[in-house]
Amino acid sequence: MLVLTVRQTIGMFFRGMVFPYASLFILEVGGTSSQIGIVNSLRPLAGLLMFPISGYLTDRTSRVKLIALAGYLSAASMLLYVFAPSWEWIALGALIQGFMVFQFPPTSAILADSLTPENRGTGIAAMNSLATGFSLFSSYIAGMLLEMLGVSLGMRVLYGLLASSSFVTAILVSRCMEDTAEVAGYDTLPSMGTILRETYSGVPELVGGLPRSVKALGVVVLMGFIGNAVASPFWVVYVVEEVGLSSLDWGLIIMFEMILKTLLTFPAGLLVDRYGRTKNLLASLLVSLLSMPLIIFAESFYQVLIIRLAVAVAGALFTPVSTALMADYVPSEMRGRVMAALGRGSMLVGAAGGGTGGPGMGYLFTVPVMAASIIGGLLYAVNPAYPWYCILATTVIQVLALVLFIRDPEEAH
């Protein structure tokens, strides 16, 4: 947990500098709103290949080695962004970065194994609070850098810093992290083709054998990813082009959002463990439903700020409760495969840039999220308000899935 927390803290600090402005970089090197959607649709593509393999390996090989390898490869591929002369290079970088998702199932499995059921909400919240606490000023610092250097040079510097952080945390993981489960030797592993065949042929049995609440939680998370895929890359574009704010204004708004989210995350984890999962999950979804679609009516800095502060409240609740629910539902010996298929159970509420994905992403979500990313770019090109109509629709589906099918587990694993 200590190594995971340090790794996440370093990663979030530098990702918090890059992701809120990623779409502006695509526009700066010649891309359009439609091409922003294309770039963000490429990142999940590799998940179709890598998630099944990673889920298989997570239950059979060293999880630590998988996580460290992803860090080294991610650092190297990030150089495509640093030297990108056009948006096509960024698209290639996004595609290659998509292969790094093989780190998520082993990370999720180690996280779940390292926390007892009665303390999962609190433990996950504490980890996220520390990580977000150190990244409070990331977006504002990046905004000032972009104002001084311009979007093109500034973003290249930021991507270089992100690459360096990935390399450093990979060294930390390989030297300091311990595996939480005994694994078989590498010489016992089948071929890649066999792994893919066994994984996808076993999907009906795997999904069919899951409890109804797990399936419904998968729908909640999938709808969140689809909403993010449609709207996430365009928060900063909408705020700059339609509301008329500057990149520095956006960085300041994200900074205040992160401060509030950090203050609320640990208390939210306590609420999750003390008062149950489903009540807190419903509260998170209702706040999302009543806040994010209002961006289409925003006309000032303070109106956008209030909306993003509400997003912070929803996000502070959602991550610990959804992650704890998934860990509660799934037995330890199946976590690698289930979390590869359905993800960790979490996603960023109202993700504010850089597309969608992350440890909550499972390979069963890949095709819908890719389609949603492309559709988001097309929708924004037709009418900048349309992506937030989609947010409204997906959040309503989330609420219905929760109310009708999700219940706190009688016995957590």
pLDDT tens track for 374-388: 999 999 999 999 999
Question: Does residue 188 lie within any of the structural domains?
Answer: no
Higher pLDDT, 50 or 167: 167
What pLDDT does residue 280 have? 92
Question: Does residue 246 lie within any of the structural domains?
Answer: yes
Higher pLDDT, 19 or 297: 297
What pLDDT does residue 357 have? 59
Average pLDDT, the chain: 86
pLDDT tens track for 77-122: 999 999 999 999 999 998 898 888 778 778 877 887 787 777 776 7
Which pLDDT band, with edges at 50, 70 and 90, does 123 fall under? Answer: confident
Question: Does residue 184 lie within any of the structural domains?
Answer: no
Read off the pLDDT of each residue in 402-408 and give the average, rounded to a whole number. 91
When divided into structural domains, the chain yields a total of 1
Residue numbers of the domain that contains 260: 2-177+195-405
pLDDT tens track for 167-201: 999 999 989 888 776 665 555 567 777 777 877 78
CA distance 364 to 234: 25
Question: Does residue 98 lie within any of the structural domains?
Answer: yes
pLDDT tens track for 299-333: 999 999 999 999 999 998 998 888 888 878 887 66
CA distance 404 to 322: 16
Question: Does residue 342 lie within any of the structural domains?
Answer: yes
pLDDT tens track for 193-237: 777 787 778 778 888 888 888 899 999 999 999 999 999 999 999
Question: Does residue 26 lie within any of the structural domains?
Answer: yes
Q: What is the CATH number of the domain that holds 383?
A: 1.20.1250.20
pTM here is 0.80
Question: Does residue 349 lie within any of the structural domains?
Answer: yes
Question: Does residue 413 lie within any of the structural domains?
Answer: no
Instruction: Tell me the HSE value of 246 on the side-chain side, using a 13 A CA sphere.
Output: 13
